[in-house]
Structure 1
Amino acid sequence: MGQLIKLQDYISRYEQNIYHYPGEFIRLKKAQWEKVKYAWENEMLDAFYSSEAKMQNLEEWLELEEKKSFFSTVKNWFRRSQQQEERTNENREEAPFFLSFAAEPNTLDDLKALFLEKLFHLQLRWASSTLRDESLIDKKYYDDEKLKYFLQRFPDTYLCLYKPVFRLRNAPVELEIILLSPIMTWCITIVEGKEDHIIIGSHERFWIEVTNGKEKKIVNPLIALNRTEKIIKKIYETHHVQFPIKKVLLNRQGYLEYQHAPRDIVLIDKRNYEQWFSSLRSLASPLKHLQLKAASALLRYCQSQYSERVEWQETNENEEQEADTFF
């Protein structure tokens, strides 16, 4: 399952430590899948749900402990560094994935599908909150087919920035989908409509989409795609990241016709989609340091809109009172 490291301008846990959370997610996913698979094979799902309910309470307790540790750091500033404390918090964090499924799985494939759906919800949570802060996520993303595609159909080692908002020269700029594999940066623009529609490309500002014999104009999708590549290249150059970039125009349900397409554009439609998709899915490679370095460089420029979580606001008030007494 691909990892959602940035969604629009929502705050993300991955922004805090990109070198920690991708590996942590893979570890948690593997451990949780083995548990739920064993429970299902041995007809013990009810007992598993009960156990997970206890773990949910444990998760709440762990977050409370993290908060206490944070304020302890403030009070004991001269005894330990904030960086050491953050590392302790990260290593202590656990995130049980779920309590139960919405439906009873009858086959292993059913179980996998339900498991991926729960993981999808976990990804949205990680991509819109941290221990202290959270962003108000638009509910439309829970049903976003394209977002689910990049998270549920790709390996764990793929890191996705889904239409991220970058802050450049004090102005917000929304980019296209960015997918970081262990060996490549994929800039992807999806141009899709009804089944078997045809997109006719050109060097003009407007392209033609043909559906059931009817034509309509669409904005040239290469404008946004080229802008995305240009910004990524500049960021990589600034931070000395040497990580290949490829631009993809993706049409899974129809066809792309562009006689004189630029050579640096990869056109993927119904005719070559399966081959392209299989090549990405079959990439057997762990997370790479250069991949994480590239992700770190990109996340530095991402904009985040968020507010402090309610429980932290309440804790802050109590801790401020204690701090006044302490000092």
Structure 2
Amino acid sequence: MAQLIKLDRYVSRYEDNLFHYASQYIKIKQGKWAAFKNQSDLKLSNKMRHTFHKTMFRHQLVWASSTLNQRSEIMDIYKHHQELQFLLSNFSDTVLLMFHPIIQNGQLNTIMIHPGMVWNVKLLLGETDSVFQGDTNGTWQEITSNGRRSMDSPLHSIHQSATSLKKLLAGEQQQMPVHHYVLAPNSFIENYYPTGNVDIVDKRQFLDLQRKGLDSGQPMRHQQLNLAKWLLEKTETTAISR
């Protein structure tokens, strides 16, 4: 389960000491998981894993909105945010995730800092087996069992985020490769008009990408932690004393 190191403009414990809390999270999660399994006499089911992820998600929200001396008030939307929970639950503990962080020039999409690479992600969490279709006029549609809904092209926001991220990383010494993805893990994507270096990934390719992103067997790296710390220092924070 990926680590939520920054949420919106909320104060984060990772800002106080990224190296400490990144390793501490893994130890806490392993301990909670062992205790969770010991409480169960039956084989672990997907439902039970989901319950555990919910427990860890609540823990992560506390860390992503408070320190020993400060706290931020979380909007209710984040307490039940399906996209945020999906990204955290489907990648490994060694992935450091920044969800819609605020920087000087605006808001980024989701930034996922892996041990060997950085992902700039726009997630489309549509209805199961729905179809997203692009259009030349800059709008997309999702075709569902109940009809169609229009939406802004995700390519606009992914390119804006990519431009902002490139400017940020230009001042960072330890460069890591950056990949830009529009992800639709439950749906199909058709008739899109890609530009630049953005990869479009729907349910047909998502499992392969997920395996790549799980970084199986790779521990967190010093370069990864340094980059995450550097990016955290570039984000904006609003908090009050506890």
Using the size of structure 1 for normalisation, the TM-score is 0.67
Larger CA deviation: 105-114 vs 298-307: 105-114
- Which residue number in structure 2 is paired with residue 183 of structure 1? 116
SS in 2 for 1:187: strand
Q: Which structure shows the higher helix fraction?
A: 1
Equivalent runs, 1:294-309 vs 2, <5 Å: 294-309=227-242
Matches for 1:159-170 after TM superposition, within 5 Å: 159-168=96-105
1:238 is matched with 171
Equivalent of 2:56 in 109, 119, 123: 119
The corresponding residue for 2:209 is 276
What is the CA-CA distance between 1:3 and the residue it aligns to?
0.4
After superposition, the Cα gap between the structure-2 partners of 1:120 and 1:209, relative to the gap in structure 1 and judged at 3 Å, is closer
Q: 2:189 aligns with which of 256, 265, 289?
A: 256
CA shift at 1:215, angstroms? 4.7
Change (3 A) 1:194 1:37: closer
2-side partners of 1:289 and 1:230: how far apart? 25
The residue that corresponds to 1:54 in the other structure is none
State the secondary structure of the residue aligned to 1:151.
helix
Query: CA offset at residue 275 of structure 1?
Result: 1.9
Distance in 2 between residues matched to 1:143 and 1:259, nearest whole Å: 30
Aligned partners of 1:279, 1:121: CA distance in 2, in Å? 27
Preserved contact between residue 235 and residue 297 of structure 1 (Cα < 8 Å): no
Alignment correspondent of 2:84: 147
Quick check: 1:286 aligned with 2:219?
A: yes
Q: Residue 26 of structure 1 aligns to which amino acid in structure 2? A: I
For each residue in 1:125-184, what CA deviation from the matched residue of structure 2 results, as whole angstroms up to 9, or x when unmatched?
00000000000112332222211112222111011111111123xxxx121111111111
The yes-or-no answer on 1:12 pairing with 2:12 is yes
Tell whether the 8 Å contact from 2:129 to 2:186 is kept in structure 1 after alignment.
Answer: yes
Match of 2:180 among 222, 227, 247: 247
- Does the C-alpha gap of structure 1 residues 115 and 255 become closer, same or farther in structure 2, counting only changes over 3 Å? closer
Q: CA deviation at 1:11?
A: 0.4
Does structure 2 conserve the Cα–Cα contact (< 8 Å) formed by 1:164 and 1:175?
A: yes
Does the 8 Å contact 1:229/1:245 carry over to 2? Answer: no
Cα distance in 2 for partners of 1:217, 1:116 equals 32
Greater Cα radius of gyration, structure 1 or 2: 1
Distance 2:203 2:49 in 1: 26
Distance 1:203-1:300 versus aligned 2 partners, 3 A rule: farther
- Output aligned runs, 1:220-239, within 5 Å: 220-239=153-172
Paired amino acid for 1:293: N
TM-score by length of 2: 0.89
Q: Distance in 1 between matches of 2:227 and 2:182?
A: 22
Counterpart-to-counterpart distance in 2, 1:148 and 1:138: 15
Question: Is the contact between residue 2 and residue 97 of structure 2 (CA under 8 Å) also seen in structure 1?
Answer: yes
Query: How far off its partner does 1:235 sit?
Result: 1.4
Q: Deviations over 1:248-287 (max 9, x none)?
A: 1111222112465235111111222222223322532000
SS at the partner of 2:229? helix
Give per-residue Cα distances to partners, 1:203-249, cap 9 Å, x unaligned.
54323433459555421211111111112221111122311111111
Give the corresponding residue for 2:29: 29
Percentage identity across aligned positions? 29
**Which amino acid in the other structure matches residue 298 of structure 1?**
L
The structure-2 alpha-carbon separation of the partners of 1:206 and 1:36, relative to structure 1 and needing over 3 Å to count, comes to: closer
Q: What code does the residue aligned with 1:22 have? A: A
Uncovered stretches (5+) of structure 2, i.e. residues with no partner: none
3-state secondary structure, aligned to 1:115: helix
Q: Structure 2 counterpart of 1:161, which letter?
A: M
**Kept in 2: contact 1:204–1:220 (CA 8 A):** no
The runs of 5 or more residues in structure 1 that have no matched partner are: 42-104, 310-327
The RMSD of aligned alpha carbons is 2.3
Deviates more, 1:133-142 or 1:24-33: 24-33
Opposite residue 142 of structure 1, the aligned amino acid is K
Write 1 or 2 for the structure with the bigger share of strand: 2
Identify which range, 239-248 or 259-268, moves more after superposition: 259-268
Question: Aligned pairs, how many?
Answer: 241
Give the C-alpha shift of residue 195 in structure 1.
3.1
